[in-house]
């Protein structure tokens, strides 16, 4: 009998390893392909506009389907669907590496994105089933670390693989890792449980289609056009707005909605989604504006620029697990506020230290901002996932991942536009040092305002939650 707890603890650790590897692979799939685009353009004799669909197909599949996949996991079983997602991701990686044409490669990337959507949504949903509630923060911190490692590792690993083995290796590297994740998940994740005699709720096909089309239209509206916003972008944005409105109306009338409208009456839940989108919008500024500032204003060469840019993901990877432990010890609400205060300090310092303090004036605020982001993410994910019913964990995890992805795509467009406006140029690469500094300052001044607004949302939602608890 004494060995039982030890075996249980070991099984939980291996289950977490499966979840962490799934998160690593889905994040790696996002970042590793970017570095291969020039090589792929040459290999397939294609333009940039054509090969960018290798990245867009993956992101569109994740963004448009992640909520639906999460809900489907609630209905048919999360373990079953996560195993299917890992298997699909791995098989699609093989298809990507063997694709003889660009069209087949793009199609395989879309399938890979569908598998990644299941992996992203259901890994967070599984944490509540595999980890004691007192350790949820640590587990969420581990997932955050794996996401950061995947993001940071992708460009470097991709460059090495292309130089040594060619572009197919960028996709085939996922295969052995995917097989390990599949084996661990099959062996150690808890079985799906369903009450005997309980009727299985229906899947909301209409809501799924409306949400997927709306999200795909929005993602295309803000990612196509290479910095310009023309009639096509405007039409897609209008389609997204109309589609979202129809989706809300349909969900209010559906017998078994994809997303229950009542869920958003919980202030901590609705605030958690909004804050996740806002902070990732701000974090995207460092990825979009950072390279132009470091090269255009500080005159860093490619090697030093890459080193400075990697400091953010490295900090996120190092801070993720300790941040989760802080959440377990001091509570998710306190740590989310502390994380936002760190982000506020980092954002406010960046425009003040621009150019005058050199590389250190950029790196130190970036480290503070990124550490605050890692702490906030661990706290916010924990707060959201520990306040939802067990039968809604999949869809809520999907919504949480969706809010992050929407923040990333919105941030890429918004922060890039702000930088160009501040630099008073349509071509950021050709801007002079003074113009680059002006663009950077405007971008991070707006980012500071966004974080201040996010902090206000956090404090108000916590006050409303306390008032509701006192009245209950």
Task: Check which CATH number belongs to the domain holding 455 and give it.
Answer: 1.20.1250.20
What pLDDT, on a 0 to 100 scale, did the predictor assign at position 4? Answer: 41
Helices (H) and strands (E) in the chain, counts: 17, 0
Cα 432 → chain centroid: 33
> Is 278 in the same domain as 264?
yes
Using alpha carbons, select from 248, 288, 316 the residue that is nearest to residue 408: 288
What pLDDT, on a 0 to 100 scale, did the predictor assign at position 128? Answer: 76
**Domain assignment of residue 195, yes or no:** no
Reading the block at residue 428, the tokens are 């950021």
For 109-166, give the DSSP string. HHHHHHHHHHHHHHHHHHHHHHS-GGGHHHHHHHHHHHHHHHHHHHHHHHHHHHHHH-
- Residues in the chain predicted with pLDDT less than 50, given as ranges, are 1-8
Contact between residue 185 and residue 83 where contact means Cβ atoms under 8 Å apart: yes
What pLDDT, on a 0 to 100 scale, did the predictor assign at position 298? Answer: 86
> Is 321 in the same domain as 224?
no
What pLDDT, on a 0 to 100 scale, did the predictor assign at position 342? Answer: 96
> Is 181 in the same domain as 215?
no
**Domain assignment of residue 25, yes or no:** yes
Q: How many CA atoms lie within 13 A of 449 on its CB side?
A: 6
> Is 342 in the same domain as 272?
yes
Q: How many domains does the chain have?
A: 3
> Is 122 in the same domain as 236?
no
> Is 226 in the same domain as 331?
no
**Domain assignment of residue 197, yes or no:** no
Domain boundary among 149, 167, 190: 190
> Is 89 in the same domain as 161?
yes
Q: 422 CB contacts (<8 Å, ≥6 apart)?
A: 438, 439, 440, 441, 442, 443
User: Which long-range CB contacts under 8 A does 429-432 form with residues at least 24 apart?
Assistant: 429/292, 429/296, 431/292, 431/296, 432/296
> Is 18 in the same domain as 38?
yes
> Is 294 in the same domain as 430?
yes
> Is 236 in the same domain as 103?
no
Cα–Cα dist 56/97, whole Å: 17
**Domain assignment of residue 452, yes or no:** yes
Domain enclosing residue 278, as ranges? 260-472
**Hey, is 32 helix, strand or coil?**
coil
> Is 390 in the same domain as 336?
yes
**Domain assignment of residue 275, yes or no:** yes
């Amino acid at each position: 009998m004494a060995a039982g707890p030890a075996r249980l603890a070991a099984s939980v650790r291996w289950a977490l390893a499966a979840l962490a590897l799934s998160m690593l692979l889905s994040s790696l799939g996002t970042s590793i392909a970017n570095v291969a685009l020039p090589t792929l353009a040459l290999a397939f004799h294609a333009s940039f506009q054509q090969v960018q669909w290798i990245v867009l197909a993956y992101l569109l599949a994740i963004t448009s389907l992640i909520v639906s996949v999460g809900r489907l996991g609630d209905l048919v079983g999360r373990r079953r669907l996560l195993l299917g997602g890992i298997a699909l991701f791995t098989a699609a990686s093989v298809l990507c590496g063997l694709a003889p044409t660009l069209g087949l490669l793009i199609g395989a990337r879309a399938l890979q994105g569908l598998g990644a959507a299941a992996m992203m949504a259901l890994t967070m949903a599984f944490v509540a089933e595999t980890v004691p509630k007192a350790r949820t923060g640590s587990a969420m911190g581990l997932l955050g670390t794996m996401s950061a490692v995947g993001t940071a590792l992708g460009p470097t690993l991709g460059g090495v693989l292309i130089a040594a083995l060619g572009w197919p290796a960028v996709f085939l590297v996922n295969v052995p890792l995917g097989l390990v994740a599949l084996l661990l998940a099959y062996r150690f994740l808890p079985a799906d449980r369903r009450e005997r005699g309980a009727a299985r709720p229906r899947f909301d096909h209409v809501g799924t289609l409306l949400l997927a089309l709306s999200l795909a239209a929005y993602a295309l509206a803000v990612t196509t056009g290479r910095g310009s916003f023309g009639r096509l972008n405007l039409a897609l944005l209008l389609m997204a707005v109309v589609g979202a409105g129809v989706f809300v109306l349909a969900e209010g009338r559906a017998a078994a909605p994809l997303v229950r409208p009542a869920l958003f009456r919980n202030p901590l839940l609705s605030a958690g989604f909004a804050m996740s989108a806002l902070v990732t919008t701000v974090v995207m500024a460092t990825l979009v504006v950072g390279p132009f500032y470091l090269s255009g204003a500080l005159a860093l060469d490619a090697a030093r620029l890459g080193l400075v840019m990697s400091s953010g993901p490295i900090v996120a990877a190092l801070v993720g697990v300790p941040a989760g432990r802080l959440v377990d010890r001091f509570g998710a609400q306190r740590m989310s506020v502390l994380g936002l205060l760190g982000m506020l300090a980092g954002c406010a310092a960046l425009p003040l230290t621009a150019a005058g303090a050199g590389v250190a004036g950029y790196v130190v605020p970036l480290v503070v901002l990124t550490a605050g982001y890692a702490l906030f993410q661990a706290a916010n994910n924990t707060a959201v996932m520990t306040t939802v019913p067990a039968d809604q964990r999949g869809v809520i995890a999907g919504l949480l991942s969706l809010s992050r992805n929407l923040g990333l795509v919105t941030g890429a467009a918004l922060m890039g536009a702000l930088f160009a406006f501040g630099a008073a140029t349509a071509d950021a690469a050709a801007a002079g040092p003074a113009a680059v500094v002006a663009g950077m300052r405007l971008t991070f001044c707006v980012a500071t305002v966004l974080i201040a607004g996010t902090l206000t949302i956090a404090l108000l939602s916590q006050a409303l939650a306390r008032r509701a608890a006192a009245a209950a």
